[in-house]
A = this chain, B = another copy of it.
Amino acid sequence: MPAKPLTLTEQARRAQLIGVTIDLIARHGYAGTSLARIAEAAGISKAAVLYHFPSKDAVVRAAYDSVLEGLTARVGAAVAAQSGAAAVEAYIRSMVGYLAENPAHTRMIVEAIVEAPAVDDTPGAPSRRQSVAALIAAARDAGDYRADVDPGLTAVIMNGALDAIVSESLTDPAFDTAAAAGYLIDLLRRTLR
């Protein structure tokens, strides 16, 4: 892979197309985002879009990847800076924090989870559930949590609660996500010891 050098225009257009696609999906959903709309939002023709990307699906996938990359970068950094129960709590806080600050990205991810069949992570990568379960297992083994907590089940439940908080903030802008994250962390502390 020699990674052919990209033109300036190329880079700029790609970035712009990814940007408008994220916005469109956030506003009109995955199904309501057509090639024509993307082109119109970017101020160019359909053909021009397909000049920079091989297909409409590729545009959407690139947009999705871009969002996911931003999220994982931030959450990964936050988690890596901690260990044990603190890492789990950093995960919750950074996740909620990022998504609260980037509602458009959030919509995009939520939509992708349910609607998009082709758009998902690389098959080899560990699932979100597994990653979180590992975090919880580590906290348990470090003695922060009771010995009988089930990392897998706890991960499922915790992720669900997290998603619910994020979803709630999408439908109710007045919803205090930071407070909710704090409340969730408090609940978990109480339950997991």
Contact = CB atoms under 8 A, between A and B. Distances in A.
Contact of A157 (B29, B111, B184, B190): B184
A183 B153 CA distance: 8
A167 to B, nearest CB: 8
Interface in A131-172: 150, 153-154, 156-165, 167-168
Interface in A20-34: 29-31
Interface of A: 29-31, 110-111, 113-115, 117, 129, 150, 153-154, 156-165, 167-168, 179-180, 183-184, 187, 190-191
Contacts of A162: 160
A62 to B, nearest CB: 21
Contacts of A117: 29
A179 B187 CA distance: 20
Nearest to A190: B191
B115 A110 contact: no
A170 to B, nearest CB: 11
A191 to B, nearest CB: 4
A157 B150 contact: no
Contacts of A168: 129, 156
Contacts of A167: 160
A83 to B, nearest CB: 23
A183 B164 contact: no
Contact of A165 (B111, B150, B160, B183): B160
